[in-house]
Chains A and B, each alone.
Chain A
Amino acid sequence: MTRRMKKSEAPYGKRLVRMVVNGRPVEAAFEPHKTLLEVLREDLALTGTKHGCELGECGTCAVLVDGRPVLSCLALGLECDGRRVETVEGMAGGSGLHPLQKAFAELGAAQCGYCTPGFLLTARALLEERPRPSRDEIREALAGNLCRCTGYVKIFEAVELAAAWMRGEDAAPRRESIYGMDFDESGLLPLHPSPPGGGRGRGEGGA
């Protein structure tokens, strides 16, 4: 429940803050008690950043401030004056999804998708620092982000796959990640009837 100062007691009016959000300079005027999370969602309409507790406990609201993961529910918007803020909305570039986004999509690392933006940005900071992280380094880097759907397994695998892609490797999801062990695929027909019918279906593997 809210334990904030009463609005009528607020000593200041709105403050004007300038920051670079997803590479673009923005100005926003907001009350000084507002968190970066609230500024992003309410003042800048960047609702891709989610919240799970607003107490710094779950990692859901993580964004990058000057390249470092920050829990936006614990940072004041005012503190970000003059800083570079990156949110999930800024991850995909002109060439499409960021490799992390693509890997999360292909491996089902985003189930409900609610914790996903926080994981993506935290993982991005990791990969920028360590292009070839070990599984334990991934666990360590993501230990502050909670996910209730995936059991983290697909997230680890997606970070590893994206890291390989970002290193320029021609990587694909491991078979066991997709089908489990010893899976019998004999029940599948080829996507295209044979001889090829000239349809426009997608590839034979993941999407």
Chain B
Amino acid sequence: MKKTRVVGRPYAKVDAAAKVTGQTRFADDVVLPRMLHCKLLRSRLAHARIVRIDASKARALPGVAAVATGAELPIPFGILPVSQDEHVLAVDRVRFVGDPVAAVAAVDEDTAAEALAAIDVEYEPLPPVGTMEEGLAPAEPPIHDSGDAGNIHKLVAMEFGDTAEGFARADRVYEDLFFYEGSTHLPLEQHAAVADFGPDGKLTVWSSTQTPHYVHRALAKVLEMAPPKIRVIATPNGGGFGGKSDPFAHEIVVAHLSRATGRPVKICLTREEVFYCHRGRHPTLMKVRTGVKRDGAVTAMHFQTLLDGGGYGSYGVASTYYTGALQTVTYKIPAYRFDGARVFTNKPPCGPKRGHGTPQPRFALEAQLDKIACDLSLDPAEMRKAQLQPADSLTANFLRIGSMGLGACIDKVVAASGWKKRRGRLPGGRGLGLACSSYLCGAGLPIYWNAMPQSGVQLKLDRGGGVTVFCGSTDIGQGSDTILAAIVAEVLGIDPFDIRVVTGDTDLTPVDLGSYSSRVTLMTGNAAIQAAERAREMLVAAAAAKLGIPEERVGLAAGRVFDVAEPGKGMAFPEAVVLAESRFGTLGTVGSYAPPPSAGRYRGAGVGPSPAYSYSAAVVEVEVDPDTGIFTVPKVWIAHDVGKCINPVLVMGQVEGSVYMGLGEAMMEEMAYRTDANRNVVHKFPSLLEYKSPTTKEMPEVETFLVEDPDRNGPFGAKEVGQGPLLPIPPAVANAVYDAVGVRIDEIPVTPEKIHRALQAKAKAPDRPARYGPAKFPAVPYPEPIHVPTPAEGGDGRAADAALTGAGGVR
């Protein structure tokens, strides 16, 4: 890889000074003259028909400017084109406790809240569906009419290669059940939005969203407005983690109320409401059947998943595919079958949380591999290393692997943790567990089908030497603005802090699809390189003419444009800009990025392909009290193959933050529900106090290794780091508990109660494998799978049965 000057340096973030002085303007900090405040009336029933809404009393209250109900906004929306199943305000049905029913705009929040209490809603209760098992049963009426069968939202089945043959030649076949509980993103910033419908008929919406482009589309659709009349500004997000990547009812309702009143309208959700917005991790039940040879080589795998989707579609169709997509990118799996199902239930909708649909199967896969290794008396680290999917290869399900640094990652954590000497030998309830993972660097296909770039960058150079980068990406704290500045600074040889970065504004910036699927560094980075290279060409041409040297001798670095053969000879950067503008006219360039086409051409092949895959390996140490099951995590070793660090200190932050969030899921976080006296499915504890997340006291010491295995598709070789390092943590915790006390916890979170129960079972029947986890997998009506011959079988990426072949993605 080419050596760099700016890229690779641990600069502070370009917005760090604003963040540490409290000057970053988040959505709730936006205050406009004449601004009204909005509050939402939310359903207190989990499932009901709306018989009647009477808002006349609320409308009559002093200080109330407008009250909106569902009839005013009949057009449905949703993030996926295939799941347009949400209404801004319930039209005739509520589907979970927290579903928005009516909205008030008033002079202040207190008045708006008072008005909510004056809205009279008559409901006809319907039987709520509380669990995914209930969701499999026939239902009348179903929660939605759009599912594949009753309350089953989506059914998927595909087979790559001949799994029957693979199982037949296996020395052993293992079958295990796992469950991964739902959890939520819990960004510290509650969602907020401000809408201003101006007298010119144009609408501006400021929102804490990760996906301003999709919010733009949803606003245009529901409000029936021409897209050019709408401007969405994504304010810096106070944390996202996937929880702000759907278009939300509250964003649309404030726009509607602003249009109705002619005044700006703001909403800031309460913490309780943020729990209702959710779109977090799907609770997932899994059955994994894996055939192996005695050396641990996998001969076939059959992976079945059942996802609890909650009340709406959200990203759920994609989530369902994701529970089966990435099993193949870490270890060689010659034949692979996947059956997936998502059911609707009357709970807050699930969607994408950091790792989107892949932490659940990754937990199951890595926990099962640990069992297999122990059963075959193999070192779990060595067994994995012997089976690595090679770099520059195609998996059985036609995912194209580029760089693959997992072997190096395993070596780092094995050496640093003292794995070889310490595993199985630690005294007193202590143990080590290892797990690995991989994640996408951006989804290969956009959410709605189109042939346009997924990321665009514009660059403006002004005659004072100023450089401004415009890009639709949204900084959610991951540092995407800083990455843009570093990349442009590298190409143009200037200081990243001298660059102005304008992002996430649909009026000013070219489209970037948003901060999700770990796509931003790779896609905006490549677009930024292209835009900057084009600007560089003009600067070089102008400077070469002035210096009287050939263009290839012009260098740009440290704020100068100079003769590389004689660096003293040259000019300051602004002077080169003036020369270039004199020669070429006003200076502006563009760059864009679209991922390479995916190799798979079967129905469902749209989920899983990515320009590159990151890899992680982790060793977790636990200390378990065998009497109570209470355990702590004193230390985590993690290595992450990021391709190339654009900024190592930011990469470190993403790795540590991922470890933290993975530990939260592994140890304590649960979106848990209770059923109240009216059979309503109610969130048990929608508060930051009772929804347990790790504090400073639970966070262990983390030893991090950044592995750089550059990928040809990454900017300067860079791959993702925002999500991948979360994935190995939950299985590594479960595997460490087994090493510590000899019981298998086949469920996330791993809690003291579960360990205690498993230990009790072990004491009663010492010769049986002690575990805590799901006992059965319900009968799911998975369809007959499509059959796709693998690359090794000479497959071309299409399904064998032409009648079942779709032309690409999940639409």
Contacts and interface: CB of A to CB of B under 8 A. Distances in A.
Interface of A: 1-2, 4, 6-8, 45, 47-55, 57-58, 60, 87-89, 91-92, 97, 100-102, 104-108, 110-117, 120, 138-140, 142-156, 176-185, 187-202, 204-207
B109 A2 contact: yes
A131 to B, nearest CB: 20
A43 B49 CA distance: 43
B272 A181 contact: no
Interface string B226-247: 0000000000111111000000
B137 interface: no
Nearest to A182: B705
Nearest to A49: B22
B20 interface: yes
Query: Which of B12, B479, B693, B697 counts the most chain A CB atoms within 10 A?
Result: B12
B259 interface: no
A162 to B, nearest CB: 11
Contact of B3 (A89, A143, A188, A196): A188
A188 B9 contact: yes
Contact of B562 (A51, A53, A189, A193): A193
Given A142-B696, A191-B558, A114 B16 contact: no
| Interface range on chain B (Cβ under 8 Å from partner) | 35 or more
Contact of B688 (A112, A113, A146, A194): A146
A39 to B, nearest CB: 14
Contacts of A49: 22
A140 B697 contact: yes
A120 to B, nearest CB: 7
B689 interface: yes
B188 A154 contact: no
Contacts of A110: 13, 16, 19-20
A111 B29 CA distance: 18
B660 A152 contact: yes
B603 interface: no
Contact of A113 (B477, B648, B689): B477
A196 B31 CA distance: 48
Given A101-B21, A150-B656, A200-B559, A108 B4 contact: no
Interface of B: 1, 3-6, 8-13, 15-26, 28-29, 31, 39, 42, 63, 108-111, 113-114, 185-190, 236-241, 270-273, 412, 416, 476-479, 493, 495, 497, 555, 557-560, 562, 564, 567-568, 570, 572-573, 644, 648-650, 652-653, 655-661, 687-689, 693, 695-697, 699, 702-706, 708
B238 A112 contact: yes
Nearest to A96: B17
A50 B110 CA distance: 19
A177 to B, nearest CB: 7
9 contacts: A50-B238, A60-B188, A112-B187, A113-B15, A114-B238, A152-B696, A191-B9, A193-B557, A199-B559
Contact of A88 (B15, B22, B189, B703): B22
Query: Which of A100, A201, A204 counts the most chain B CB atoms within 10 A?
Result: A201
Contacts of A50: 22, 26, 188-189, 238
Contacts of A177: 649, 652
A179 B688 contact: no
A174 B119 CA distance: 59
Contacts of A146: 188, 688, 693, 695
Given A97-B17, A188-B9, 8 more contacts: A7-B114, A88-B22, A112-B237, A149-B239, A182-B705, A187-B8, A188-B5, A193-B555
Contact of B4 (A113, A188, A198): A188
A154 B13 contact: no
